[in-house]
């Protein structure tokens, strides 16, 4: 057992033998906030209160109450969920160690920082400290009434408080608070992107990695959140629009009722659009707001200076769309074949009249389906969804980050192919894509090269080609956390050139690591041409 004194008291953890080399200290289930229940439901989190005696930090804290519809788990968890985990290779190093803080994904409605999924074993071997944590999800974390009582973004404010905890306490675990890298994937990647422009997050990290998600992805920011909340209230049998009455209703609602929600307020929505996410907050007195204003304008003017950024995407991001509730293969095929505005990007649908939308849709449908039914041109359909769901807005985000020259930016495309590519199988989509003539690199497949996913009970041969890829990926990520440069030396046989608007360098991270330029050039040129003709303010 190992004890560490932090600002709130004494924590007792374990010294763990790492099966992949060396040892590390493990401290799990440390509270970073007061339990957000009762009147604190939906409110900004309050810092944890000090305790007396010794806190056992040997088990992860409860996850936020949720249903993980991606893998079909039953509802479970707790509102009392604001706990974090610290894994350190050395709590008394000669020099303080860089810190990597993981923000989990899960469409803002599921997921956790649990060690059975996001264990530290691959990363801490490289001499970095890893921190994972839970934050409020679903309605608990992202319901918004546009009122002082329920202003929205509670889950994002949880993340801010966790980062403040790291700044205050990581030195006690051997960490360097001036070398904190935040990294996340999917909704977690979008969260990282929002921290880059949030006034609440400024100064809490030095580097940022957005994996398969960013603050420009249309699904991450919610329009008209109050109207969605009113729809939810009516679904639950409450019809008043009084702010006070609504607040009291939602605060007293059993947590079990606040999942499996459908909050459509318009028929004009994407199949893979989310109901809950980040909102632009309104001002009430001197309340601290996580985000306010137009994201595009914030990216033009408010990206935190001198923060190095790494961002990228997997080869087949769009396959995730087939696993989201309400958007299975039959529904997607029907919409893409019969409903023209399936091919209208959300931001164009919000801004342009219907006639222009249809012209856009015709261009995209011709380009990607080429006159075929979607089921007969699945590869073309996936390419469109890749761009629509993730890639085009992520590449635009990268350009905004790079344009000021105050933020060094690295771009990648993830193409690793091995038995570790398990996401299609986990999402129960193997049969649908069995005729693809190559191994799929689905959304979230990159995670299995960063974390051992003990929940899958995989066996690892450390002499295998797939483990060589694990070493490559974790070396790139931890080098970035240490140096702000993923390839500070030539040990991987490549020098990753920073991305710029003029020279669009990126790294193809696959079975081999290859320097490249102009990712998905033909698709990007088409999308930029369409956006320049319709919503030019959304691109450089």
Q: What DSSP state is assigned to residue 273?
A: -
Whether the Cβ atoms of residue 129 and residue 100 lie closer than 8 Å to each other: yes
Q: Residue 464 catalytic?
A: no
Whether the Cβ atoms of residue 34 and residue 21 lie closer than 8 Å to each other: no
Beta partners for residue 211, in sequence order:
185, 312
- Rounded to 5, what percent of the chain is helix, strand, coil? 35, 15, 45
Measured between its terminal Cα atoms, the distance across the chain in Å is 54
- Catalytic hit among 88, 317, 418, 466: 317
Q: Residue 186 catalytic?
A: yes
Classify residue 73 as left (phi > 0), alpha (psi -120 to 50) or beta. beta
- Single out the residue of 329, 312, 292, 437 nearest to residue 379, CA to CA: 437
Q: Residue 537 catalytic?
A: no
Beta partners for residue 509, in sequence order:
414, 513
- Single out the residue of 508, 312, 317, 494 nearest to residue 411, CA to CA: 312
- Catalytic hit among 186, 198, 212, 220: 186
| Exposed e or buried b per residue across 114-125, where buried means at least 16 C-beta atoms within 10 angstroms of its C-beta | bbebbbbbbbbb
Active-site residue set? 186, 317, 443
């Amino acid at each position: 057992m190992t004890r560490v004194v932090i600002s709130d008291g004494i924590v007792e953890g374990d010294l763990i033998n790492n099966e992949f080399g060396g040892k590390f200290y493990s401290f799990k289930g440390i509270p970073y906030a007061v339990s957000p229940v009762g009147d604190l439901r939906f409110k900004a989190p309050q810092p944890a209160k000090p305790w007396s005696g010794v806190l056992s930090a040997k088990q992860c804290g409860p996850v936020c109450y949720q249903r993980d519809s991606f893998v079909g788990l039953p509802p479970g968890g707790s509102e009392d969920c604001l706990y974090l985990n610290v894994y350190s290779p050395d709590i008394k190093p000669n020099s303080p160690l860089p810190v990597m803080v993981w923000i989990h994904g899960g469409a803002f409605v599921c997921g956790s920082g649990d060690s059975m999924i996001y264990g530290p074993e691959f990363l801490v071997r490289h001499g970095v400290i890893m921190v994972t944590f839970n934050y409020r999800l679903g309605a608990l974390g992202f319901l918004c009434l546009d009122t002082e009582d329920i202003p929205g973004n509670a889950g994002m404010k949880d993340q801010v408080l966790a980062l403040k905890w790291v700044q205050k306490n990581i030195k006690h675990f051997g960490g360097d608070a001036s070398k904190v890298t935040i990294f996340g994937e999917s909704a977690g990647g979008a969260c990282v992107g929002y921290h880059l422009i949030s006034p609440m997050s400024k100064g809490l990290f030095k580097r940022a990695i957005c994996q398969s998600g960013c603050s420009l992805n249309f699904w991450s920011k919610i329009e008209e959140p109050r109207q969605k909340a009113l729809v939810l209230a009516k679904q639950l049998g409450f019809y008043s629009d009084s702010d006070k009455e609504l607040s009291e209703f939602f605060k007293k609602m059993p947590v079990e009722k606040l999942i499996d929600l459908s909050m459509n307020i318009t028929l004009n929505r994407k199949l893979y659009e989310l109901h809950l996410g980040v909102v632009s907050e309104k001002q009430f007195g001197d309340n601290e707001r996580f985000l306010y204003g137009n994201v595009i304008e914030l990216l033009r003017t408010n990206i935190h200076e001198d923060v190095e950024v790494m961002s990228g995407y997997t080869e087949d991001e769009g396959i995730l769309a087939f696993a989201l509730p309400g958007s299975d293969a039959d529904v997607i095929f029907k919409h893409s074949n019969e409903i023209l505005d399936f091919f209208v990007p959300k931001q164009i649908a919000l801004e342009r009249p219907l006639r222009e939308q249809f012209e856009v849709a015709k261009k995209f449908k011709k380009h990607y389906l080429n006159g075929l039914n979607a089921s007969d041109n699945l590869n073309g359909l996936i390419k469109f969804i890749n761009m629509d769901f993730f890639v085009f807005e992520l590449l635009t985000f990268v350009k905004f980050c790079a344009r000021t020259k105050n933020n060094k930016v690295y771009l990648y495309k993830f193409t690793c192919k091995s038995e570790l590519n398990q996401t299609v199988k986990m999402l129960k989509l193997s049969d649908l894509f069995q005729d693809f003539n190559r191994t799929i690199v689905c959304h979230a497949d990159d995670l299995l090269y960063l974390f051992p996913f003990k929940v899958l009970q995989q066996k690892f041969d450390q002499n295998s080609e797939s483990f060589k890829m694990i070493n490559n990926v974790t070396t790139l990520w931890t080098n970035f956390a240490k140096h702000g440069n993923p390839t500070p030396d030539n040990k991987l046989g490549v020098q990753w050139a920073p991305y710029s608007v003029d020279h669009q360098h990126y790294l193809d991270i696959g079975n081999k690591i290859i320097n490249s330029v102009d990712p998905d050039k033909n698709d990007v040129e088409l999308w930029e041409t369409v956006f320049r003709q319709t919503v030019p303010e959304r691109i450089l």
